[in-house]
Structure 1
Amino acid sequence: MASSIQKHTDVTYLEALAEAGENIFQHDIIQNLPDDEKKRLEEKLQQELPEEMKKEQIRKAFQLAVIKGMKEAVQPHHAMTPDAVAMFMGYLVEKLTSKKESLALLDPAAGTVNLLSAVLNQIPKETIAYGTEVDETLLKIAYVLSNLQEHDVELFHQDSIENLASPEADVVVSDLPVGYYPKDDVAESFRLKAEEGHSYLHHLMIEKSMSHLKPGGFFVLLIPNFIFESEEASALHQFIKDEAVILGLLQLPDSMFKSGQFGKSIWLLQKKGPETVQPGQALLAELPSFSNQEALLDMMKQMDKWFKEEGFAP
């Protein structure tokens, strides 16, 4: 359907994918297409759409279509969070918040909400989510993907460094975009602004998100390993020391990345609050390959034990 819309309306594949998602949601072809093509798509919609689809099936189908679309016009910050990593981050959010009755999540770089919805699909309790995205096309896909999965998501079309309009959240979960932030005048008011030149986008996003996290709230962030080695690393370290406690750092297997320099880790932080306690021992681990189920299950057993010992899980 997306390919047909792209062909007949002269839009990009990703824009057409958002339109196709809206058609599925409305159960109708709402674009102005040639009559014979519209009729063909209407028939396909009736014949091929299953009566019932699980949320994860919808998310994965869209994920594959988005990856196809990104081959056309990929931008570095558009890269999709690997599926196994998104699922694992969902597991971590669920463990950290298992004692809470309801939950508010925030992703300040939501993209198509693939990561956010992968997390939401693993949380059994009542949850509302907020997603901020500066790219309008990705936001349109996020909108239809949230609707089709029936998730309670509020989406904001904005630059989350300059203007983060979401309410406070219990958890910030994000695949942190990496690079330089071009608006020096906006960065000027941040503690983590660069001494000279453009500031790091990823540093500013951590600082801004911290201000939208409730006291005692959690960060579950996918970060590049080099974040601790840049020339601004000492300022970030001091900021985190002042504002939060480090709960853990889980290094993803090298086999997931083309080379070591692109390696990433999952960083777990808790914002300081009246009940925040420094963990007896931080959760530090190198994760095994996600295809090695036995080793991964063994690692998760050890993590389950840590969550219980540190009082996060009952």
Structure 2
Amino acid sequence: MNQQASALVTAADISRLAGVTRATVSNWRRRHPDFPAPAGGTDASPTYDVDAVRAWLSARGQLPEDTPADELRTALRTHPGDGEPALHLLPALLAAAWLDWKEREALPELRDDALLRWARSATADEADDVPGIEGPTYNADAVGPLRALVRCVAADGAEAAMDVLAERLLEDTGGTGTYRTPHPLADLMARLLTDSTGAFPVSVLDPACGTGSLLAAAASAGATALRGQDILVAQAAQAAVRLRLSTPEAVISVRTGDSLRSDAFKGLTTDAVLCNPPYGARDWGHEDLAYDQRWAYGVPPKGEPELAWVQHSLAHLAPGGRAVLLMPPAVAERTAGRRIRAQLVRDGALRAVVSLPQGAATPLHIGLHLWVLERPNPQAEAPGTVLLVDAAASENRDFDWAAIDDTVLSAWRHYRADRDGFTGTPGIAGAVPITDLLTEAVDLTPARHIRTASRQALRPALLARQASELYGQLHRAAQDLTDLSTEGDWPPADDRPLDWRTATIADLLRGGALSLLRTAPAGRRTRSGEPLPQPETDLGGRPTLTATDVVQNRPASGTTADLPTDAPLPLIQGSDVLLTETLRVGHSVVARVVEPDETGCFLGPHLLLFRPDQRRLDPWFLAGFLAAEQNVNAAATGTSIVRVDPRRLRVPLLPLAEQQRYGAAFRRLHELRTAAHRADQAAEDVTRLLSTGLTGGALLPHGHGSA
């Protein structure tokens, strides 16, 4: 590693460094002649000398104390232009992760020569497990990044350090178009692999694994042999490290290269395949692979790369093995692919197509499809139907993954248990005979086959009674909303918005005004695969409050399976303030004070718990300002996963009486938002049911038959 004299940082880096928005950095550049001049970059995207920026910020009191993650980012910035430093730190990250907490705490304090000796010795074996790395050498120039890395691992955990390395790797590989499969979607895809007895496949392959989210979901569901390949070295390396951090007991093999052109697992037969293939890549090797033996269902046209991935996945399955692929919806209807679709349906290889709501995964403006495929078993009778599920038909504004999971998995479970007797759900799911699909177009879009509800499936009397009950719920919810929305007179401030003196959470922690607690994700084990010692905390059957519970404002639904096994487990107390640590796509972070029935629950992963000294901080005041959009934006880090750095959040310094006035306002806004959500959900439920009843002939309009 060749270290340069000083790092270059962008405006975005400066905003993170100072804990302000990018707009504030732009204002500083315009209004302050002494702001450091650009040292590189372009006119549109200049870069600045980090030492000059730090000196400028420090002189104005705008430089918060560095977190270990910040130190690691700065250390990586001393090697601009390529991802080699971050890539070569991955074996050291794995080695540090296998240490117990006492050894991790001691590691950053080693002398330079001792730290280098540890790195060379500890990473000798780890490097073989990280694709794209051939024996990293750690010389004197590597001390700074190494020390920053082990300090970050000791303070924030290996996953947090991995996220910082991932940011740098994404920048250096120009990772446009590389996206992780969202965790809820990855979990849903994995659960579609479960067989009728509830058993999960032992071995799973992902031929376009990215950073490994689908393989991680398979491991969580029970797979013990995980194989992946990705064309980007940085992605494959991340996948290997993330999988080893989360499931070190599994057999893991991750390779680099183009799976279609140069299959690293050629000849491998696996139990299952999970894949989110690249979309619309016309240069996938059509000319070179025209006579490939994998095209058992037809040579994929140049404009149908997704059908090449479908057949690649089927070729790796054992007879009866299953694959789940995330596909763009056009694959179900494009003219060029109709012959291959017809053959997949005719041979029984395509078992189900599920349409998802918009926003389920990138690209967010398209409702993607899940294709469930099985390698035909020559000894078994070919199925006569294909399951089609329109999960987008039950979409609501809050994008309820629990409801989507229930819709999809319930339909798949009942269909698999009794294909011939499966009646489906009107307008949502149905078993469509293959003769109905083998038309000239071979259109497999679920909505075009099952949106029309079956008249025989509708029961008029039952629908009328359900409609009456839902109307009652809507009336009560609307009354609650009306009662809470009577106070609409909010006086303005003076001519300008108030400008408070603020303190960072890091400052308040040092001053003892509050404490910060969090829980690491579950599943951490030793390198040998043995579970780590159980904590001394008495589990006692307590529920776990999850991040999803906080977002949806529902009772604690988690279990001890959501918790780690090697650390004390925080218990929630009254007046604690909860903040979601990661940002969901299209949503804001959520902050609120715990409800009375949540006291005594375990704190789940991906939640931050602030415990204020109530003699100095009002809880609802704290919650309101912590979740402020401009506050969160200034404290957000990460690219593929956006995480809030709690120590950078700022809170106004106000007298307690003034805090309590703001706290009462924030609490009322929380109650108003909750009531609005209940009313919105009730209106959605009643209108959907009435629409189904009216269009299906089970319900009559008001006044029907009257004079």
Pair in the same fold by TM > 0.5: yes
Q: Distance in 1 between matches of 2:401 and 2:151?
A: 42
Deviation at 1:233, TM superposition (A): 1.4
Q: Do 1:187 and 1:204's aligned partners in 2 also have CA atoms closer than 8 Å?
A: no
Q: Deviations over 1:158-213 (max 9, x none)?
A: 22112324211111110122221353442221444466xx4533222222222221
Q: Distance in 1 between matches of 2:382 and 2:404?
A: 26
Match of 1:74 in 2: 175
Q: Distance in 2 between matches of 1:97 and 1:106?
A: 21
Q: Do 2:204 and 2:274's aligned partners in 1 also have CA atoms closer than 8 Å?
A: yes
Match of 2:322 in 1: 218
Match of 1:93 in 2: 193
Match of 1:189 in 2: 291
Match of 2:418 in 1: 309
Q: Do 1:216 and 1:276's aligned partners in 2 also have CA atoms closer than 8 Å?
A: no
Aligned CA distance change for structure 1 residues 209 and 96 (closer, same or farther; 3 Å): farther
Match of 1:111 among 193, 207, 210: 210
Deviation at 1:18, TM superposition (A): 4.3
| Matched ranges for 1:31-50 at <5 A | 31-32=138-139, 33=141, 35=143, 38-49=146-157
Deviation at 1:235, TM superposition (A): 2.9
Match of 1:176 in 2: 277
Q: Distance in 1 between matches of 2:284 and 2:190?
A: 32
What amino acid sits opposite 2:360 in the alignment? M
* Residue 148 (1) aligns with residue 256 (2): no
Gaps of 5+ in 1: 51-57
Q: Percent of aligned pairs with the same residue?
A: 18
Q: Distance in 2 between matches of 1:36 and 1:67?
A: 18
Aligned-partner SS, 2:194: helix
Aligned-partner SS, 1:94: coil
What amino acid sits opposite 2:153 in the alignment? L
Q: Deviations over 1:191-248 (max 9, x none)?
A: 44466xx453322222222222111111211111001232421132144246543221
Match of 1:53 in 2: none
Q: Deviations over 1:10-40 (max 9, x none)?
A: 3556x65544443221117745446456445
* Residue 10 (1) aligns with residue 80 (2): yes
Q: Distance in 1 between matches of 2:153 and 2:402?
A: 41
Match of 1:26 in 2: 95
Deviation at 1:275, TM superposition (A): 4.4
Q: Distance in 2 between matches of 1:131 and 1:268?
A: 19
Aligned CA distance change for structure 1 residues 134 and 296 (closer, same or farther; 3 Å): closer
Larger radius of gyration: 2
Match of 1:292 among 390, 395, 400: 400
Q: Distance in 2 between matches of 1:204 and 1:41?
A: 41
What amino acid sits opposite 2:417 in the alignment? K
Aligned-partner SS, 1:81: coil
The answer to which of 275-284 and 169-178 deviates more is 275-284
Q: Distance in 2 between matches of 1:239 and 1:211?
A: 15
Aligned CA distance change for structure 1 residues 279 and 157 (closer, same or farther; 3 Å): same
Question: What TM-score do the two structures reach when normalised by structure 1?
Answer: 0.78
RMSD: 3.5
Count of aligned pairs: 296
Match of 1:253 among 353, 357, 369: 357
Q: Do 1:18 and 1:144's aligned partners in 2 also have CA atoms closer than 8 Å?
A: no
Match of 2:236 among 139, 143, 148: 139
What amino acid sits opposite 1:8 in the alignment? T
Q: Distance in 2 between matches of 1:252 and 1:294?
A: 13
Q: Kindly indicate which of the two structures has a greater share of residues assigned to strand.
A: 1
| Matched ranges for 1:195-210 at <5 A | 198=302, 200-210=304-314
Q: Do 2:149 and 2:161's aligned partners in 1 also have CA atoms closer than 8 Å?
A: no
Q: Distance in 1 between matches of 2:170 and 2:163?
A: 10
